[in-house]
Structure 1
Amino acid sequence: MSSPILEALPALHVTVIGVIAAFFSAFAIYAYQKVNDAKEKLDEALHHSMSVSIPNSMMFSGNNVFLSQDGTLNWDDRGKEALRRAVMLYSYLDYEEKYGVPPSPYQREPNPEEVIAACNDLFSLFTTIFTTYPFWNNNVVHIMGQTDKVTQLCSKEFDTNRIHEMQRIVGYLNWTWSTSNRSLMTLASRGIEFTRQKQLKEQTEMFEEQVLNMQHQMPKSEQERIWKQFYLPQVDRVSDFQEVFASYFEKAHVVERDVIPLLSSSISSFNTYNETFRVKETTLKVITLIMFNMVFGVLLPLVTLNLLVGVNVDWSNLWFSAFEYFVLFSTIFPYLWACNFLFKKVKKLNFA
Structure 2
Amino acid sequence: MKKNKSKKNKFFSFVISCFACVILAFLACSLAFRLSLTAPDSKANAKEVRVEIPSGASISRISEILVDNGLIRSDRAFYLAARFPFLSFRKTVPVMKSGYYNLDSSMGALLIMTVLESGVQDYTRVIVPEGLTLRKIASILENNGICSADAFVEAACDPDLLKKYFIPAETFEGFLFPDTYFFAPDMKARDVLEIMVQAFFNKVSEIPCYSEKSPSAFYETLVLASIVEREYRIASEAPLIASVFKNRIDAGVGLYSCATIEYIITEIQGKPHPDVITYDDLKIDSPYNTYKWAALPPTPISNPGLIALRAAAEPAKTDYFYFTLTDSSAGKHTFSKSFNAHVKAGTQFKTKKTGSN
Give yes or no for TM over 0.5.
no
User: Which structure has the bigger radius of gyration?
Assistant: 1
- Normalising by structure 1, report the TM-score: 0.19
As a proportion of its length, which structure holds more strand?
Answer: 2
Give the TM-score, by structure 2 length. 0.19
Larger helix proportion of the pair: 1
